[in-house]
Amino acid sequence: MHRMTDREFESAVEEALANIPERFLEALENVAVVVEDEPDDYHFDILDEPDCRGASIRDDELLGLYDGVSLPDRADGYDGDLPDVITVFKGPHERCFGSRTELVTEIGKTVVHEIGHYFGIDDARLREMGY
């Protein structure tokens, strides 16, 4: 298991965001990307909600989660009060991936996966796409 400092992990998330094509970043509206050490009951409860698009999961570890209203669903009267939240979890990433290179690569995949949920792409399609 490779460990990163909080700053290293946050930098890897920032790098992943910087690698997203600009046209997609510009389309993100009212979305916050945050880093948490570990998921808690709130995050797991979201997975059970009927409108949950999915999450990044590997070996029963929750790597990332999109909590919000996807872009296609926003056409139905979205008022945008609270920002949608993409959460990337540090501990699960560290437990699942053995090297720094692998960890940074998988953080990037998690970020893309969760942004995909914002655009309305479900887990099955994201897995087909390699995320």
Q: What is the pLDDT of residue 99?
A: 94
Question: Which strands, in side-by-side order, build the sheet including 55-58?
Answer: 31-36, 84-89, 61-67, 55-58
Q: What is the pLDDT of residues 7-20, one digit of tens each?
A: 999 999 999 999 99
Q: What is the pLDDT of residue 30?
A: 87
Q: What is the pLDDT of residue 76?
A: 66
Phi, psi values for residue 31, rounded to 5° = -130, 130
Q: Which residues of the chain have pLDDT under 50?
A: none
Q: What is the pLDDT of residue 9?
A: 97
Q: What is the pLDDT of residue 33?
A: 96
Question: Cα separations (Å) of 104 from 30, 45, 115, 123, 130?
Answer: 26, 27, 17, 21, 15
Alpha-helical regions (H) of 19-99: 22-27, 41-47, 90-96
> 49-53: long-range contacts at Cβ-Cβ below 8 A with a sequence spacing of 24 or more?
53/117, 53/120, 53/121, 53/122, 53/123
Residue whose pair of structure tokens reads 């008022």 in the numeric block: 79
Q: What is the pLDDT of residue 80?
A: 65
